[in-house]
Amino acid sequence: MHKYIFVAAMAAITLFTLAPSSHAGLKWNYEVTHVTNGAFGAVGSARASSDNKQYIGCWVTSTASSAVGGCQARRSDGAVKSCSTSNASIVANMRAINEGSFIYFNYSGGACTSLQVSNYSTYRPKTP
């Protein structure tokens, strides 16, 4: 009886050892990066960074007749880039940001000129 248990255990170990490994899916890590007149990064990557300084995000304030919004990104060295706008298309994009978003904004003279928001499973979700 013990011989059969041993053989079964060895067969199970061999099966699990030789089975192809599973992967949880493609993952991209985008910590906050500054470029000329802009910045980019993923919300979750900034939140999970080991430096406790990075952040990236956008905000929107609305009234019954208008809306204004802005974006801000701080790198690990503490440097900050930001912009604001009342452009309806850019403000609409700001509203699409969630805790798993990748954000890329550009500005001129402090005014946001473009905003890319990407929501893919490859971006790290925000964690505590």
Whether residue 67 lies inside any domain: the answer is yes
| Residue 6: per-residue pLDDT | 43
- Structure token pair of residue 55: 């952040």
State the average pLDDT over residues 107-112: 98
Whether residue 90 lies inside any domain: the answer is yes
Check: CB of residue 35 under 8 Å from CB of residue 117. no
Helix, strand, coil share (%) of the chain residues, nearest 5: 25, 40, 40
Whether residue 57 lies inside any domain: the answer is yes
Residue 67 has pLDDT above 60, yes or no: yes
pLDDT tens per residue across span 34-56:
999 999 999 999 998 999 999 99
Residue 128, C-beta contacts closer than 8 angstroms, at least 6 positions apart? none
Q: How many distinct structural domains can be found in the chain? A: 1
**With bands split at pLDDT 50, 70 and 90, how would you rate the model's confidence at 8?**
very low
Whether the full predicted model's pTM is greater than 0.85, yes or no, is: no
**With bands split at pLDDT 50, 70 and 90, how would you rate the model's confidence at 7?**
very low
CA separation for the pair 125, 96 (Å, rounded)? 15
